[in-house]
Structure 1
């Protein structure tokens, strides 16, 4: 199967039973339809989710009017091989019909933000003893030597912002496809909360 790149949204998670009676955790995705908005060199740009033209500024509105295409809320650009480039034209629409049950896909998205988190939650550090007299319950312990080097090295595992970063989950199996409603059912979990924008692609 040639490379397929589309945008979609996470609808939620549930579980299914396979033929052996085992529970499979699955995620429901609403994928596409995506329209090709630009083809340049070996780059292709796709648009996802129609939007009211009144909500766009003049620059973006003029861009879509020049292409004689509907206005899209999201645009995504990616590289594609020269063979597939010849088969791609502006205005072509991709749907879930590009996928097949049993195929494996990769999904990228922004993970759920957890805010400023401590050592135990962010890096799975073990806590100190909780007995009376202990003054090391949730402290990090030593973070470096004293005189030499006299500083803390960059990248040290410490407290800080957790989550809200790009995560890619690879080789997720497609369990079921609903062609009428553009819905994919995949095995496993994907980044982000319900309604999160996802980038779905194959290699």
Structure 2
């Protein structure tokens, strides 16, 4: 679980170095604040997924994301532990790195707040999705899986895998295809290709397992909780 604490750091490092940062995704004053009644924690028997259902749902719905997916991510990142801190400094329900807070103009001392933590994760997912520039009508499950792979393994490596897929005449918007090229990025015959910008990738097993586990839990949450 905490081996993944560098995931968001990896994304932002790659993203800001090679793509810049779009101010449209930064936080205006109090943009991440939610109403007081949405901060209330639920007691056992009152919630469907976790005591943070109110927070995750209200923030995610406002950002246009499925709260059940964010809940699945929170489970795998922290087991819904709001004061979790990794050895690398990732904090909160979603294990947000300080660099992410800075990029989204959120004060460091606000990251521990569950609503702010969830807001940052939502914003990061949206930024990944926008940056990947999917073709129209991509199946939602493929889209989600590729975004999650970027969230975990870094958008640079995922972009490389998608470029390789296109180079070899395969669909860069298929998660099955992208996962295969992520694995091939450990092979010099692929990572030395001129289409590859971010070099060798040895974390494909972890990233593919992360996507599988989060999507599996998301499916479970979809069965027990309404959108």
TM over 0.5: no
Higher strand proportion (structure 1 or 2): 1
Q: Is the helix fraction higher in 1 or 2?
A: 2
TM-score, normalised via structure 2 length: 0.21
Q: Tell which structure's C-alpha radius of gyration is larger.
A: 1
